[in-house]
Amino acid sequence: MTAPHRPRHIALVAHDSMKASLLRWSDHNRSTLQHHVLYATGTTGTMLEYELGLPAHRFMSGPVGGDQQIGARIAEGGLDVLVFFWDPLEAQPHDPDVRALLRIGTVWNIPMACNVATADMLITSPLLNGDYEHRRPDFTPREWDQTQSPTAG
Residues annotated as catalytic are 67
Q: What are phi and psi of 127, to 5 degrees?
A: -70, -25
Q: What are phi and psi of 20, to 5 degrees?
A: -60, -40
